Amino acid sequence: MIKKILLIYTGGTIGMIRNKESNKLIPFTLDSLLLSVPELQNDELIIEYKSIKYPIDSSNMNTHVWVEIVDIIEKKYHEYDGFVILHGTDTMSYTASALSFMLENINKAVILTGSQIPIGVRRTDAKENLITAIEIAGMEKVNEVCVYFENQLFRGNRTTKINTEDFEAFKSPNFPVLAEVGVKIKFNNYCFKKSNAKFTARKNLSNNIAILKLFPGIKIEIIALIMKNVKGIVIESFGAGNATNDPKLAKLFEDMINKGKILINVSQCIHGNIISGEYESSAPFENKNIINGKDITTEAAVTKLMYILGLTNNDSEIRAQLNKNLRGEVTC
């Protein structure tokens, strides 16, 4: 059966082709891509191409572009068997996490991929990443937002970028890979099953949030200033969820919660969980209204907060949703 895949180009290293006349790297068109990767030309695949209005370096990624991507998928949802998003690596995990929340009850693969070296360069890793991402998107075995990179398929909202130089740029530190690619593509038993619920695109996000990374000697006054000007705060604490046991910090957290602030505690460590009460230094986070982020990544915590703040203004409902495992982003 012929599969139709929509390639969505957002920018990034992967989409650069060398112009033969100027010898400079320029963003590709679908025609130039197919010429560069002839393996994509076959009778079993129909690949069509759509670019966001203004392709960007992924460091310029923002909520408006996420909405644009979701809008494309929503409008084309019934026309294609799967979607592959070409994206720069620097913020790919943020985008994958955001899309996982915004695309509710999706029953098709949405796979983000990119490369460390442009597709127009001889030693590029882009060709394998692109070919395999498209292959998986057409297999009807994946029903969620994923990242494919360097022979591994990850749940998108479990990923983080760990390396700027190696081809193995991403890891899923607290969740197994969905598939491993060698001679064969071996799927593990962690992919979501198809949902009977209706696909819904959620496009209302709030960026009225901040990340607060604790460090030894951080001033309580600085923490207060950061919290004062936003609704939601992702706090990157030490180890299993620890901070200075200065009573002023616990009092500040309590005051901010009373003012309607939403606090979620995540670990600065790549691997492991937030464990409340494990150490005396976890005391500042014992307030029951501070969300225990468990093993969520910072990228997923940020985008989950954006998503939920865009759904409701009710603080109790916001906290209730943050405590749920919505898209497989935390381990129950």
Q: Active site includes 13?
A: yes
* Token pair 């923002």: residue: 62
CA 133/CA 114 separation, integer angstroms: 10
206 burial via Cβ count (<10 Å: 0-12, 13-18, 19+): middle
125 burial via Cβ count (<10 Å: 0-12, 13-18, 19+): buried
Bridge partners of residue 307, in order along the sequence:
none
Which one of 10, 13, 91, 160 is the catalytic residue?
13
Question: Closest Cα to residue 200, out of 111, 77, 310, 105?
Answer: 105
Cα distances from 212 to residues 179, 278, 319, in angstroms, run 34, 22, 18
The DSSP call for residue 320 is: H
Q: Which residues are catalytic?
A: 13
